[in-house]
Amino acid sequence: MAKDEDRDGSVTAMRLFVGLQPSQAVREALASLQERLRAAGVEGRYLDPANLHLTLAFIGEWPEDVTACLPPVGEPFALTLSHIGVFQRAKVLWAGVEPCPALDALAARVRQNLQAAGIPFDPQPFNPHITLIRKPVLPDAALLGTIRPQPAAMTVGETCLYRSERTENGMAYTVIGKMTTEGVQKCGH
C-alpha cells in the first residue's frame, strides 16, 4: 500500500472512503433534482454535482492508499435512482436507489476486505444513498413525497477509493484509486 508522505518524509493520514462514481447521466439527473429542490424552497448546503458519490464504506483517517484492498465488482450491475429522503440525525437530504442485491453484496465485500486488512471503517449498516444537501431546511415536510429524481441509471463496474479534503469552498472528494476489472488503477492524488 502506498503511504501519503509529507515533504519531510513523515506519513500523514488521509481522510478516505470507498464509493461509487455516478455516471454522467446520473450526475445530470441529480443536478437537475438539486435545481428542483432549490426552486421548491429547500435551503441548505448543496453539494457540488462534481462531488456526488455513493459511499460503500467510510474509513476516515488512514495513512495509506488502500485501493489494492478493494474487491472487484465482478459482474457489472445496474443502479437506478428512485427517491429522496432525509437522515434527521446526520442532517442530510439524499437521493436513493432502487433495491439492488448486487450493490448490497459489493458493500459487504468492501467491508469484509477492509476488515481482513485491519483497516477500520464506520460500522454503521449500509444504507445506499447519494447526499445532495447538508443541513437541509424544507419549507414543508410533505415536499419529500412530491419530488422524485428523473429516471436515470448507471452500470457499476468499478469501486473507487476517495480522498476527502476540506477546502475554502467546503469538502472536495477526489478519486485516488479504482479497482476495475483489469485490477488496480491509480488516479490523481
Identify the structural domains of the chain with CATH numbers, from first to last. Answer: 14-186 (3.90.1140.10)
Coil/strand/helix, residue 67: helix
Q: Is 154:30 a contact under the CB 8 Å cutoff?
A: no
Q: Is 113:121 a contact under the CB 8 Å cutoff?
A: no
Confidence (pLDDT) at 9: 47
Which residue is it, cell 439492488?
A: 100
What parts of the chain have a pLDDT lower than 70? 1-11, 188-189
Cell of 109: 465485500
Tens digit of each residue's pLDDT (9 = 90 or more) over 124-142: 999 999 999 999 999 988 8
Q: How is residue 129 annotated by DSSP?
A: -
Residues 6+ apart with CB under 8 A from 125: none
Q: Is 129 a catalytic residue?
A: yes
Nearest CA to 98 among 152, 32, 36? 152
Q: Which of 21, 30, 37, 53 is catalytic?
A: 53
Angstrom distance (rounded) from CA 14 to CA 126: 22
pTM attached to this predicted model = 0.90
Q: Which of 129, 158, 160, 173 is catalytic?
A: 129
Angstrom distance (rounded) from CA 178 to CA 70: 8
Residues 6+ apart with CB under 8 A from 119: 59, 62, 66, 69
Nearest CA to 155 among 93, 102, 84, 104? 102
Cell of 8: 519531510
Confidence (pLDDT) at 188: 65
Angstrom distance (rounded) from CA 32 to CA 122: 30
Tens digit of each residue's pLDDT (9 = 90 or more) over 140-158: 888 888 999 998 999 999 9
Q: Is 144:87 a contact under the CB 8 Å cutoff?
A: no
Q: Is 189 a catalytic residue?
A: no
Residues 6+ apart with CB under 8 A from 108: 126
